[in-house]
Amino acid sequence: MTSEALAWDTGSRNGEETYELYRQSMADLYAVEGVAPEARPSFYNATVMALTAEGVVGRGRSSGQIMRRTRPYVGRSAIDGINLLVNLAPLVGDCAGRDVRSRPGDLQIRDLSRETVSRVASVDVYSLLIPRRYVPDILLQPSAHGTVLRRDTPAGRLIAGHVRILGNQIERLDDAHRRAGLTAALAMTARALGDTRPLDPETRASLRLGLRWRAERWIHDRLLDPDLDADTVARACGGSRATLYRAFDHDGGVHRFIQKRRLERAHMTLREGRRRSVADVAEDHGFPSQSHFSRVFRNTFGYSPSDVRPGLSPDFPFPVRNGRMRHDVAVGWLKTLAATG
């Protein structure tokens, strides 16, 4: 299935009504409790999610609440699978009798066939919902339910970063890339829990794509660092140098990708018209000389840096939001996937 992302932002308008509608929308996924009457007038929810053939990718913000799945509730909800989530607020709770506490940015594993309760002062979450038939066996073991992979461990940092990138890219990715992102998240989480089975070609390709996403984010955040190179990117993003090069093969390699991004930023700087010399812009963006910068700039854009005139870059269109909450659509889609398995 190829799907446009569903998105809404209720703000805090009609908070009482928003709270009730939110509870109804979430009814098959989690029972929402713990919102005091005096807090309901300011209750809000903002969510974007996409449905894929392997599950649901979501990014949401909401007021603080308690989310619960009791044994009778699990039996009534008619959905079964795994919820991988990264909340940017602290969470305390219980997973089938196991005390669970996570810090902002930790990755958590929830088995939707088992009891769980979560208490959060605010919701700022990246969430993957995957039907059971796509989930590696190791994630379906009772011991996996409630597992927290800490943000300060290599595995936790790697997987949580991947989930956050996937959530932030929902509206820009096509269905195939969303599916690959889900596959990579499952494979990395299974590996973190000790799964050593050989990976099939599709999963390997998904992991390479995930590595590329993480590398692009790392490069973007440190683009002007003079020590930025393929080795530092590979170490930071959890891949080998060879795998990283394969991930950037269509760009001519990691070095070429970094150079192109630096040229694009240099172009933007020249367009902003800050009365800076071409030599200064070249030096600031990591080029060894003005002549080298001018040569690769012309090869890339078809004109020299001195030909760039100040002006405003066009704004990217902001996606249209609607006020109707549709968590029930995600639940219905998960039921459909389970029924057709």
* Per-residue pLDDT tens digits for 102-131: 999 999 999 999 999 999 999 999 999 999
Beta-carbon count within 10 A of 54 CB: 22
pLDDT(100) > 90: yes
The pTM for the full model equals 0.77
Instruction: Show Cβ contacts of residue 315 under 8 Å, excluding neighbours closer than 6 positions.
Output: none
Domains of the chain: 6-198+330-339 (2.60.120.10), 249-318 (1.10.10.60)
Mean pLDDT of 292-314: 78
CA distance 41 to 319: 27
**Residue 233 in tokens:** 């990117």
pLDDT(319) > 70: no
Highest mean pLDDT among 108-112, 257-261, 330-334: 108-112
Reduced to 3 states (helix: H, G, I; strand: E, B; else coil), residue 43 is coil
* Per-residue pLDDT tens digits for 161-176: 999 999 998 888 888 8
Mean pLDDT of 301-328: 62
- Helices vs strands, H then E, count in the chain: 11, 10
CA distance 49 to 127: 9
DSSP letters spanning 172-236: TS-HHHHHHHHHHHHHHHHHHTT--PPPPHHHHHHHHHHHHHHHHHHHHHTTT-TT--HHHHHHH
